[in-house]
Chain A
């Protein structure tokens, strides 16, 4: 019933303290080292808390007068506001942001009180998505990118492929990437379910971010006929390097999106009913069959896969792009919508038992959490989540 991470952190502080006091047993030493090795963030926290100079330097910067000075500045702002508002009462929007707590919060307050129960099964848990992307080149070579060292991956064809980061590859072509190829080679980048966001830079400099469960097919270099990328499944965020002579186009499910200088998001998961194109900046033309629209920033086009209809509405940009900043974001989402996202991220199947409660979920939570930590954030719901193998079982509490 205890939150694993909570115990963890408290244990780590204990180990750290014991270490600095020189009271650490060999076993404890090994335990601490294992934890530190577990992730970069663990190492960071360890380094920071273990570093006495650092601790002292942080605290010596925290002067109460500085806080007091800002407080009085703030107070005068509040006073001014009050005066302006007087007579024109503004009703505060009733948009209550439901807050999802971070795991690890309670360890400091030592709050393990009556309401601290956790619904997730402590014994089986799911780790957040990790780097799993696979690149298949037109030559038929397959690269499991996580096994590749950073640096050159392939220079066999028109483009040079580099692994530029743990989760990024980049194509470099001649000049602006628009070389005269008659039959360009097509590569496929697959970021499977349970794969962390993956970045791709195309030969023309256009940047594409792939969400979990995404497959795209693209030419290694672009011919003069234009630049076309196919979204086979999933969701991408595209920052196009605009070129008047060679329009950039994303096609998916019979839909084509043509850039007119642009940053946009396309979501076309196979298990969704519609393709959603959301424009963050610039302008795009969305076309399907005989329907065609030009989107303006902040708009979203929803196109059904069954017909040629396109609906355009105002988009929730922050919500749509939350995944690009490492967040799950829900705005009055029903449980099924939420679970669908978790299913992709943790690469699991969702099984519903009994009646599904009709709840609306609003809030944000980090994606780089274990499933149990996300469930903890959803603890206020009257729902029990249980991990069994590669399934999440959802039922009434």
Chain B
């Protein structure tokens, strides 16, 4: 069963994360975006632990999700709650005095904006990682690491023309996969260097 929410995959009736393949794919798709979100509240190591626990829960509960968005919302909500619980427990008395009402001062914080941000990056990340391997490597070096065609061709021992072709191919696939605006953002990422 596919999990990503691309246009051609809307025919799913429901999702149960009960087999290895679905579970693994969900984890790989959401690990980084969720981590990005959790880092707003906690440090890197704690974020990793929190996300692990959330996925354990996901596995244990065999919960039924109506659609990919439902699953996604559940994941963010679970990570959010786990982070808040973690903050409550971890604060020692002294810290408590200093940071009294710290969680409260987050009231105005843009949780939903942060999720949107995580998911904009998440969509790009997922789409990139679904590219065929050489194509992905080249797209990554070019768009994320900011290397020129020449630099890539030297590093990979390919002709510049091959690099160009693979990049074009990658973009074509990405255009199909990404929602128009996310794609536009990716293009900006590409051409603004």
Please report A residues at the B interface, Cβ cutoff 8 Å: 9-10, 13-14, 16-17, 20-21, 39-42, 44-45, 48-49, 52, 55-56, 58-62, 64, 66-68, 70-71, 73-74, 77-78, 81, 92, 96-97, 99-111, 113, 165, 196-197, 199, 207, 209, 239, 318, 324-326, 364, 366-369
Contacts and interface: CB of A to CB of B under 8 A. Distances in A.
B69 A67 contact: no
Contacts of B62: 92
Nearest to B71: A99
A79 to B, nearest CB: 11
A49 B118 CA distance: 10
Interface string B106-127: 1111111101110111011100
A78 B56 contact: yes
Interface in B28-52: 28, 31-32, 36, 48, 51-52
Contact of A325 (B24, B104, B110, B144): B104
Given A99-B77, A105-B73, A325-B84, A78 B107 contact: no
B94 interface: no
A81 to B, nearest CB: 8
B116 A9 contact: yes
A66 B48 CA distance: 10
A13 B104 contact: no
A113 B28 contact: no
Contacts of B85: 318
Contacts of B76: 102
B156 interface: no
Interface of B: 5, 7, 10, 24, 27-28, 31-32, 36, 48, 51-52, 55-56, 59-63, 67-70, 72-74, 76-77, 81, 84-85, 96, 100-101, 103-113, 115-117, 119-121, 123-125, 129, 144-146, 179, 181-182, 184-185, 187-189, 192-193
22 contacts: A49-B117, A52-B188, A59-B144, A66-B31, A70-B51, A70-B52, A73-B52, A92-B60, A101-B70, A101-B73, A102-B73, A103-B112, A104-B115, A105-B115, A108-B179, A110-B7, A199-B101, A239-B96, A325-B84, A325-B104, A326-B108, A326-B109
**9 tightest Cβ-Cβ pairs between the two chains A and B:** A41-B110, A326-B107, A62-B32, A67-B31, A109-B5, A13-B181, A17-B184, A45-B113, A102-B112
A368 B117 contact: no
B69 A105 contact: yes
Contacts of B117: 45, 48-49
Chain B interface, >50% SS class: helix
A75 to B, nearest CB: 8
Contact of A56 (B31, B73, B100, B144): B144
Nearest to A106: B69
Nearest to B66: A115
B100 A239 contact: yes
A38 B106 CA distance: 18
A111 B125 CA distance: 20
Contact of B115 (A14, A17, A102): A102
B185 A13 contact: yes
Contacts of A74: 27, 52, 55-56
B52 A68 contact: no
Nearest to A64: B129
Contacts of B193: 52
A377 B103 CA distance: 23
